[in-house]
């Protein structure tokens, strides 16, 4: 039976003769056990502070269905995205690879057509896409914001990319370090990529695909001013691969859009305004990560009295759903401070400071030089964030 309808009704056998009232009560009790949250559709919002002037949209632009080599119906991708707190997705089934062809109609526009209605009722931005699936070079590319996926299914990969561009697509290179095409796991840049880049036909690259992050590719994006992307490339149901509640969330491309609609997402991607979310890390340009950190990391008290070499502390609130992990990268003038400070999402911790023997007296701002180890502005480089504390030093 259909579970949506189920919610509206309830077994009523207890009213019938032959079943005692006390028995019925027992069942009522039993029926409610564990039912509380089993409503079919619950959305877990994902809270990340935005960059002033933009709305931050949680997106995933790479996923599959039974229409290529995935194992779910297109509507599942919409349901999963809504439940997982996403704002925009693209289904991007392989154009050239259709292992279910004997059972499932080969039409690359169907996934979009089938799921568009659900996306619309849920208020999810649903972007038409497809994966151009070729041997390396140039490998796999996603084209999103297209109009007719089937017209991209042509023999020559250059013609396929050109057709995508002609349809107004945003085009990006998928998983350059995938061992299916890079047996030694090394991401390699071929002349074909230079060709695409120079023609404006490669506007971004996945620096994160599924469970992998490619530092070399991150560097390429910075050097060539390309859009950073982090996508799930899901084939299975989302819960088979990820468990956000257990600390293993799906990757997302966070898009800083001027407007919360398709056009806004498109413009933001073209303008390189993205942050990649992967395994609790945020990866992006410093100009975007700094305000995100500022919005999340909040001193609940900005003044502290430091008496001799006593301990004192400042409460810090992490007003986001992303844990923040800080480590010290220098000295704090007059204070001993923790070498590391972990601020769990949505919780308050104490930043404990101890006066140095020679801190003198008087009032001044002490800037504690921390690096945020899980906010990466370049491969291997965390965001530097000075934490200013107004100290009253007394004896």
Residues 328-387 touching its own copies, rule: CB under 8 A, are 336, 338-339, 341-342, 344, 346-350, 352, 354, 373-374, 379-381
Binding mask 52-91 for its own copies (x = CB under 8 A): --------------xx-xxxxx-xx--x---x--------
Q: Select the span of 38-46, 157-165, 189-197, 385-393 touching its own copies (CB under 8 A).
A: 38-46
Least Cβ distance, residue 391 to its own copies (angstroms): 15
Report the chain's terminal Cα–Cα distance, integer Å: 75
One residue of 49, 280, 291, 295 binding its own copies per CB under 8 A: 280
The H-or-E segment that residue 103 falls in is none
What CA–CA distance (Å, rounded) separates 314 from 300? Answer: 7
> Which residues between 145 and 174 bind its own copies (CB under 8 A)?
none
With respect to its own copies, which residue has the nearer C-beta, 50 or 354? 354
345: nearest Cα among 372, 318, 371? 318
Q: Select the span of 155-163, 178-186, 193-201, 255-263 touching its own copies (CB under 8 A).
A: 178-186
> Which residues between 205 and 224 bind its own copies (CB under 8 A)?
209-217, 219
What CA–CA distance (Å, rounded) separates 159 from 161? Answer: 5
**Is 270 among the residues that bind its own copies (CB under 8 A)?**
no
With respect to its own copies, which residue has the nearer C-beta, 50 or 327? 327
> Which residues between 292 and 321 bind its own copies (CB under 8 A)?
301, 311-313, 315, 317
Answer left, alpha or beta for residue 5, where phi above 0 means left and psi between -120 and 50 means alpha: alpha
Sign of the Cα torsion 245, 126, 55, 254 reads positive
Q: Count the Cβ atoms, other than its own, within 10 Å of residue 373.
A: 15
Residues 6+ apart with CB under 8 A from 386: 367, 368, 369, 370
With respect to its own copies, which residue has the nearer C-beta, 294 or 315? 315
- DSSP labels for 210-232? TTEE-HHHHHHHHHHT-EEEEE-
One residue of 105, 155, 156, 358 binding its own copies per CB under 8 A: 105
Parallel, antiparallel or unpaired: strands 212-213 and 227-231:
unpaired
Q: Select the span of 4-12, 150-158, 191-199, 284-292 touching its own copies (CB under 8 A).
A: 4-12
With respect to its own copies, which residue has the nearer C-beta, 144 or 304? 304
Binding mask 107-136 for its own copies (x = CB under 8 A): x--x---x------xxx-------------
With respect to its own copies, which residue has the nearer C-beta, 108 or 266? 108
Q: Select the span of 165-173, 191-199, 273-281, 287-295 touching its own copies (CB under 8 A).
A: 273-281
| 119 and 78 Cβ atoms separated by less than 8 Å | yes
Q: Nearest 5°: phi and psi at 280?
A: 85, 0
Show the tokens assigned to 182.
Answer: 């890079």
Show the tokens assigned to 362.
Answer: 């008087």
With respect to its own copies, which residue has the nearer C-beta, 158 or 280? 280
Parallel, antiparallel or unpaired: strands 348-355 and 335-336:
antiparallel
> Which residues between 6 and 25 bind its own copies (CB under 8 A)?
6-16, 18-20, 22-25
Q: Nearest 5°: phi and psi at 211?
A: -100, 5
What CA–CA distance (Å, rounded) separates 138 from 23? Answer: 68
């Amino acid at each position: 039976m259909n579970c949506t309808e189920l919610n509206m009704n309830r077994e009523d056998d207890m009213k019938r003769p032959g079943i005692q009232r006390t028995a019925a009560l027992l069942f009522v009790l039993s029926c409610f056990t564990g039912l509380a949250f089993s409503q079919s559709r619950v959305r877990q919002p994902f809270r990340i502070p935005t960059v002033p002037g933009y709305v931050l949209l949680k997106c995933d632009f790479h996923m599959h269905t039974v229409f290529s080599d995935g194992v779910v119906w297109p509507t599942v991708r919409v349901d999963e995205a809504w439940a997982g707190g996403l704002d925009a997705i693209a289904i991007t089934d392989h154009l050239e690879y259709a292992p279910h062809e004997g059972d499932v109609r080969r039409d690359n526009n169907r996934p979009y057509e089938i799921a568009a209605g659900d996306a619309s009722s849920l208020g999810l931005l649903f972007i038409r896409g497809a994966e151009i699936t070729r041997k390396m070079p140039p490998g796999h590319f996603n084209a999103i914001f297209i109009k007719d996926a089937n017209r991209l299914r042509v023999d020559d990969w250059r013609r396929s990319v050109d057709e995508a561009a002609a349809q107004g697509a945003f085009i990006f290179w998928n998983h350059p370090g995938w061992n299916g095409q890079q047996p030694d796991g090394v991401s390699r840049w071929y002349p074909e990529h230079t060709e695409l880049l120079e023609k404006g036909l490669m506007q971004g690259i996945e620096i994160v695909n599924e469970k992998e992050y490619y530092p070399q590719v991150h560097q390429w994006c910075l050097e060539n001013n390309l859009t950073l992307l982090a996508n799930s490339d899901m084939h299975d149901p989302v819960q088979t691969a990820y468990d956000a509640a257990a600390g293993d969330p799906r990757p997302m491309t966070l898009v800083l859009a001027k407007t919360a609609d398709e056009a806004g997402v498109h413009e933001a991607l073209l303008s390189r305004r993205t942050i990649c979310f992967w395994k609790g890390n945020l990866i992006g340009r410093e100009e975007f990560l700094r305000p995100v950190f500022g919005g999340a990391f909040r001193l609940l008290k900005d003044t502290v009295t430091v008496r001799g070499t006593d301990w004192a502390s400042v409460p810090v609130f992490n007003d986001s759903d992303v844990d923040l992990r800080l480590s010290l990268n220098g000295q704090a003038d007059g204070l001993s401070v923790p070498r590391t400070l972990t601020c769990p999402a949505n919780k308050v911790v104490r930043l404990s400071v101890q006066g140095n023997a020679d801190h003198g007296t008087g009032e001044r701002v002490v800037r504690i030089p921390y690096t945020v180890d899980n906010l990466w502005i370049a491969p291997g480089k965390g965001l530097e964030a000075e934490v200013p504390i107004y100290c009253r030093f007394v004896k």
